[in-house]
Amino acid sequence: MSEKKQVSAKNIINETDTKLRNEYFNQYVKDVTPKNSIPKNTAKAFLVGGIICVIGQAFTNYYIYMGADEDTGKLYTTITLVFLAILLTGVGLYQKIAKFGGAGTLVPITGFANSMAAPAVEYKKEGQVFGIGCKIFTIAGPVILYGIFCSWVLGIIYYLLKLLGVV
Amino acid sequence: MDYLIAFLVGGAICAVVQILLDNTKLMPGRVMVILVCTGSVLGALGLYEPFAKWAGAGASVPLTGFGNVLFKGMKEAIDKEGFIGLFKGGFTASAVGISSALIFAYIASWFFNSKMKS
């Protein structure tokens, strides 16, 4: 940070002092490496994630309006969002949105759906069982495993507390 | 109004995760596992349900909501069936999300081809 001088590749090549040359080189690498703008990424994730949730809210409201109770409405919303996410994954659009939205497309349930659909399409050529069958669980498998296990542990705690009459 | 809250809450959760992704070496798969587990822990502590009532889809669409539903199903199953509920509740609650994703993803593999072709 001591010198704010713009370093070019020429500077590095022409520099005879090794120590200074190394310094220039490091500066050059730092300048050339694309900067990951964290505030910008965060804003994009906020926007995309927020929009997906608004779409979810719209479907939930619609299903409740159509006569479903709240829990059922949310389940129908899940199915709808999963379906749409997989459709978008199939036509290659979800990946583009994900490139822009980052965590905004990963955090909603649509990200979970995408993590199944993308490898299913991708590894189709490797066969029904070892291609699609295995690869579909690459990311979803751990999520299911730890989700089930975690809720099981919490369930045991709840069960014991219930036996003891605490809850 | 519920749309605004859903947008702000859902967006905020995604923004927090984005900051996590940018500042740590966490991979997306791990983040998803963390989100689901966080959701079910918050659900077990009784914190997620009131939050979800207020935030609507902003709380139910992110994977933390999926985790919350997992514990909710677990609790219902234990209340109803006792010990055996421990081995039923999780899958019952997550059945819709997991089944729909599996089924649609598999069907998608019939119709779509990889975009990575040279």
Q: What is the pLDDT of residues B53-106, one digit of tens each?
A: 999 999 999 999 999 999 999 999 999 999 999 999 999 999 999 999 999 999
**Residues ≥6 apart with Cβ < 8 Å to A160:** none
Q: Where are the domains of chain B?
A: 2-111
Measured N-to-C along each axis, helices B2-23 and A38-65 cross at an angle, to the nearest 10 degrees, of 140
The pLDDT confidence band at residue A23, using thresholds 50, 70 and 90, is: confident
CB pairs under 8 A between A and B: 262
**C-alpha to C-alpha distance for A108 and B61, rounded to whole angstroms:** 5
Instruction: Give the C-alpha separation, A121 to A87, whole Å.
Output: 11
Under an 8 A CB cutoff, do A58 and B3 touch?
yes
Smallest CA–CA distance from B59 into chain A, residue: A53
The whole model's pTM is what? Answer: 0.85
Select the residue of A142, A146, A152 nearest B86 (Cβ to Cβ). A152
Tokens for A98, please give them. Answer: 């994900």
Determine which of B1, B4, B14, B113 to mutate to test the interface with A (most A C-beta atoms within 10 Å): B14
Structure tokens at A59: 């479907």
Residues of A numbered 95-134 whose beta carbons fall under 8 angstroms of chain B's beta carbons: which are they? 95, 101-104, 106-113, 115-117, 120-122, 124-125, 132
Nearest to B69 by CA among B42, B29, B31, B104: B42
pLDDT band at B118 (very low <50, low <70, confident <90, very high): very low
Average pLDDT, chain A: 90
B88: number of CA atoms within 13 Å, CB side?
11
Find out whether A76 and A67 touch, Cβ atoms under 8 Å: no
Phi, psi of A108 (to 5 degrees): -65, 165
Ranges of each domain in chain A: 1-33, 40-136
| Distance between A50 CA and the closest CA of chain B, angstroms | 4
pLDDT tens-digit series, residues A45-82: 999 999 999 999 999 999 999 999 999 999 999 999 99
Residue range A105-158, pLDDT digits in tens: 999 999 999 999 999 999 999 999 999 999 999 999 999 999 999 999 999 999
Q: ipTM of this model?
A: 0.92
How many percent of chain B have pLDDT more than 90? 87
Contact of A88 with chain B, judged by CB distance below 8 Å, is answered with no
